[in-house]
């Protein structure tokens, strides 16, 4: 059954996948992990990421592959 919540969630997911670069909050939304957990994963080098000028960036395809490969905490 289609509900307003499903439509909103699908719309949110669509917008997320339109982005070429993800920030911490995007990875948090995709994985369901708390923002703090995403920061911890990057500090332990357990999740693919880039850091430039003190800001974290993520390539969506790398995160999806990491998620699908099961390299999770």
Query: Which pLDDT score is estimated for 56?
Result: 97
Query: Which pLDDT score is estimated for 20?
Result: 87
Q: What is the pLDDT along the chain (73 residues), one digit of tens a residue?
A: 554 454 345 445 667 767 789 999 999 999 999 999 999 999 999 999 999 999 999 999 999 999 999 866 5
Characterise 45 by phi-psi region: left (phi > 0), alpha (psi -120 to 50), beta (else): left
pTM over 0.75: no
Residue bearing tokens 């957990």: 37
Provide the number of structural domains found in the chain: 1
Query: Which pLDDT score is estimated for 14?
Result: 64
Inter-residue contact 71 to 46 (CB < 8 Å): yes
Residue ranges making up the domain that contains 61: 4-69
> For position 41, which CATH number holds?
1.10.10
């Amino acid at each position: 059954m289609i509900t307003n919540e499903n439509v909103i969630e699908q719309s949110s997911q669509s917008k997320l996948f339109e982005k070429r670069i993800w920030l911490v909050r995007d990875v948090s939304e995709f994985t369901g992990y708390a923002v703090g957990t995403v920061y911890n994963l990057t500090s332990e080098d357990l999740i693919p990421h880039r850091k430039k000028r003190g800001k974290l960036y993520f390539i969506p395809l790398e995160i999806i592959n990491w998620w699908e490969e099961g390299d999770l905490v």
